[in-house]
Amino acid sequence: MVREADKVVPNRRLTCERLRQGWSQQELAHLVGTGPDTVSRWERGLNFPHPSMCKKLCELFAKSPQELGLVKEDTAGDDRPTLTFPSLPQVYDPAIPLSQVGDEGLVGRAQLLADLKRRLCSGKNAALSALYGLPGVGKTAIAVELARDREILDYFRDGLLWVGLGINPNLLGLLGRWGTLLGLAPYEMETLTTVAALAKTLSSVIGTRRMLLVIDDAWRIEDALAFQVGGVNCAHLVTTRFPEIALQFAHDGSTVVHELSEDEGMSLLARLAPEVVASKPGEVRSLVGAVGGLPLALTLVGRYLWSHFYKDQPYRLSAALSTLQSIEELLRLTQPASASHTAMPAEAPLSSLQAVINMSDQHVAKQAQDTLRALSIFPSKPNSFPEEAALAVAHTPVETLDTLADAGLLEGSGAGRYTLHQTIADYARLQRTDTLVEERMVSFFTLFLATHATDYNALERETDNILAAFQIAYERKMSEQLLRGVVTFALYLEVRGHYSIAETQLVRARQAALDAADQAGLAFTLLHLGRIAERRGVLNQAEQLYSEGLTVARQSQLRTTLVDLLANLSEVVLNLGEYGRAEQYAQEGLDLARELGDQQRMCVLLKSLAEVIDCHGQFERGDELYREGLALAREIDDREMMCLYLQNIGAKASKRGKHEQAMPYYQEGLSLARQMRHRQRMSALLSNMGMVSTRMQHYAQAEAYCQESLSLARTIGHSVRMGNALQNLGIIERERGNFAQAEAYFQESLDLAREMGHRWLTSETLCEYGEYYLAQNKVEDAFTAFAEAHAIARGFGGQELVA
């Protein structure tokens, strides 16, 4: 028979002190010179340390052996009453909150619940689990569903205990309530006047029984550890806002609870207000995004909308939806406190999203509060921002960021990056009063752009933050900073195909340049607005913008910008079929670039001039210019120009029937374009590769290349590239004999070409249309198409097409 004194009692004191230091068992073992298995046996109460090891532990923790639980407690001579532990029936704690979802279950939490059940019911000793996440993300709701799950109740056959802690829990009172549920008499608990003594007694009462103990809403690790009672057959689940508490309590058993996806948010609202979702799906979906998929916020929104839904009075629903467009109103939506949170003050009958977040906000020092308000200037999740930006904008030490992260208000988002949830950002933004934050935001990202102008990966990561800084500069009329920033950022936006964003910023920058009488800035913005118009296929508008910029550059003697404008103007008038003007602009630009000794611009103009010379039918001279330009591009390592030259040289080889020679040029160019993520250049090269594959009768591969090219062109809205890809797809289907599909492609290409006024593409597509008709023996239709193509080509001197 096992005597009471021989029963194994886990050493919670040693475990608590270790966790208070933030050490794992392995780390503690390393510090005292033993193995992690030995530390585990100490903490499980299976044996006690050797005296020499006991001394090391006491020195390390600066605690006595008794404080670390390293000596057997001798109860001989103890005149305290002997505690008797009655046989326990199954205990089901009445404090477990009622489920808010019924039989339908929680939306979007099935996999998380399954994983938790598997861990809790694993049978492993001391199964510790913890859920952490944002205020209102649904941690308690998940714990409630687990506590009422049939499989959980069957597995933990001896019962389930629940405690809601909150900010200032009465630990003795809450542990005493557990004691009462476990059958301890009042006189037995009267002698247990400390948390440690009561917890030790509860562990002994529970003994080997299999129970689940849920510790909800822990705000301090010490509070959570006080309820880590019971034997090896018990499992514990903690919920907390604080990542550090979850990690300290459960280590690898800690799980972050994420917000709901947009579709899951819609599903939740469909449960709460089905008629509203059915009648106003667009407005409801925007609300899901406005609250960042936070379940508490969605629940409040759903109940509010449902309460305002009247079939015969649709204006009331419209008014409710209008009200919810206000961030202040969203944060103030309320629900009964009993259905919300254990940490809410007892005297507060209602809770709101604002109140739930405010609890965490008030839990940190004023410096951290001020930092949170400053950080709300960054776009919210899923956007993230770098630590150096956060420190500069908030004007705070790094330790303050740690404080906010530990409080669950600031989330990590990869190495050295942070993010703020939408609702927390909204809460903080409404309370931000420091206007210097905005100036620091603009200054940081203006400098960032100046030092990372060619680092496109860095610019991609910070795009949302940079655009936010531009918006502030625009609204606060910080014209100089806005112009400097946009001038640097415009080329990146163009390369990545963000034409609409680029146009918006360039229009604002142009006005800033006009306001400041900044001629250099004005010429630059006109140049890049012209490039955007050209990429979109609005060639006449592009020519007008380039011409305006050319006038400004000539008047102000802005020679480098003048070269750029001449190069772009040459290309656009070439596409408009004006070969004479195109050659004139290209030659003037090349001469000026040579005079300046600007190799990069020489490289650009050699390509422009070569294209014009080819269109005049002077192919050998064109070849010479291409070879000179490619060699120069390689010499200065200009990858974008290398792509252009490789594309054009490959195209010339293909037109001469040297398809196998053309493909390596295209493949090298495509590899460079993919490295730069230059979607416009990728589209062009893929289209050309599709044509080479067609000529080699590799139709499946050709179609794959051209479809990818078309997809990229549609994504960035590049009309010329769309027209080229569609024309090539028409050729592929014509060769396959799929005439109906071929005609559809040709017609869409022709419509685009006519809309743009792109005479070369129009003439070329009509030629392919003629071949399409001939393949079906429609000679008269073919003659009509060829005649129109010939007339257009002759009109702009397109010798290659005329031939």
pLDDT in tens, 120-177: 887 765 578 999 998 888 899 999 999 988 889 889 989 999 999 988 899 998 999 9
Report the relative pairing of strands 235-240 and 254-256 from DSSP bridges. unpaired
In this predicted structure, the answer to whether residue 765 has a pLDDT above a threshold of 90 is: yes
Interior angle at CA 133, CA 129 and CA 136, nearest 5 = 120
| Mean pLDDT to the nearest integer, 763-791 | 91
Which residue type does 101 have? V
Summary mean pLDDT of the chain: 86
Report the relative pairing of strands 385-386 and 417-419 from DSSP bridges. antiparallel
Range with the poorest average pLDDT among 78-87, 270-279, 709-718: 78-87
What's the confidence (pLDDT) of residue 797? 61
| Continuous segment of H or E residues that includes residue 26 | helix 25-32
Distances (CA, A) of 529 to 4, 499, 524, 541: 86, 9, 9, 9
CA atoms within 13 A on the CB side of 51: 0
Query: Cβ distance 660 to 695 under 8 Å?
Result: no
Whose CA is closest to 403, among 360, 465, 353, 342? 360
Interior angle at CA 570, CA 568 and CA 575, nearest 5 = 100
122-153 exposure pattern, b = at least 16 Cβ within 10 A, e = fewer: eeeebbbbbbbbbbbbbbbbbbbbbbebeebb
Q: Left (φ > 0), alpha (ψ -120 to 50) or beta: where does 126 sit?
A: left
What's the confidence (pLDDT) of residue 431? 86
Query: Cβ distance 235 to 118 under 8 Å?
Result: no
Q: What is the pLDDT of residues 37-60, one digit of tens each?
A: 788 778 877 778 877 788 889 889
Distances (CA, A) of 484 to 78, 118, 308, 439: 81, 57, 49, 15
Distances (CA, A) of 241 to 50, 228, 341: 39, 18, 12
What's the confidence (pLDDT) of residue 359? 82
Give the separation between CA 423 and CA 290, rounded to whole angstroms: 8
Range with the poorest average pLDDT among 45-59, 205-219, 433-447, 764-778: 45-59
* Better pLDDT: 585 or 275: 585
What's the confidence (pLDDT) of residue 97? 84
For 251, phi then psi, to 5°, come to 55, -115
* Better pLDDT: 297 or 236: 236
| Mean pLDDT to the nearest integer, 96-123 | 85
Give the separation between CA 732 and CA 700, rounded to whole angstroms: 9
In this predicted structure, the answer to whether residue 82 has a pLDDT above a threshold of 80 is: no
| Mean pLDDT to the nearest integer, 499-510 | 95
What's the confidence (pLDDT) of residue 2? 40
Please give the span between the terminal C-alpha atoms of the chain, in angstroms, as a whole number. Answer: 108
In this predicted structure, the answer to whether residue 84 has a pLDDT above a threshold of 50 is: no
Q: Left (φ > 0), alpha (ψ -120 to 50) or beta: where does 797 sit?
A: left
What's the confidence (pLDDT) of residue 126? 53
| Mean pLDDT to the nearest integer, 275-300 | 85
